[in-house]
Amino acid sequence: MPITQISDKEPIPAIEWAVSSAPIDYPRAVAFMEQRAAEIRAGTARELIWLCEHPPLYTAGTSAQPQDLLEPARFPVHTTGRGGQYTYHGPGQRVVYVMLDVRRHFGDVRSFVTFLETWTIDTLDSFGVKGETRKDRVGVWVKRPDKGDNVEDKIAAIGVRLRRWVSFHGLAINVNPDLTHFSGIVPCGIREHGVTSISDLNVNASMADVDAALRTKFQARFHSVRETADPFASSVSRETGAALAAT
């Protein structure tokens, strides 16, 4: 919803927080983020954290290598402008799209990415999962001594894009996805390590639990956050009604 023009001299308005209840088509999500980021730049919309899921799909970031797409016919493949290589999105994975004024809040891109990493690690810590970063690998990793010495699996991916200092895309945490779906790609171009999830680590946490932890940890840094409506609630309702009418 548009708001009045925001001046740099005025208090920063509350950051909006939205959760979509049904899987969102990826191109529609990207189109929404593009529009919202433009409105944030123009000062006509509030910054937004948007939590959602997608149907099973692969995305190719700006550094994706063709040889890392192992099964191109398995799921839809979407080329996207975020940084990084191939990633998977699907049910059971919490995708967090982050639309913030990076220069205002962080000053530089590195500090912003560090915040995303720390936010993810702190969220995982809420469930007793120790996430770590690596200088030579993107994302958040967990050690797997149960699988052997020096074995690590990726539990969260991070990939962002900035346009005139406003961010979009964000991070994805594996809560309880079908991990076999990752086998159609080389996730983030890393062949030496696998992927895991909160469920795979034998931790009982629902998507709602993860959402609550994400918000708690986010508000430790950004105190002014307010709920807003699912941006696709009306369209999901229309599509559900049309499907029921057709049966």
Tokens of 59: 């995305």
Active site residues: 188
Sheet containing strand 86-89, strands side by side? 77-79, 57-60, 86-89
Q: Are 183 and 105 in contact (CB under 8 A)?
A: no
Pairwise CA distance, residues 106 & 17, whole Å: 19
Q: CA–CA distance from 142 to each of 74, 117, 132, 146, 152 (Å)?
A: 27, 13, 6, 11, 6
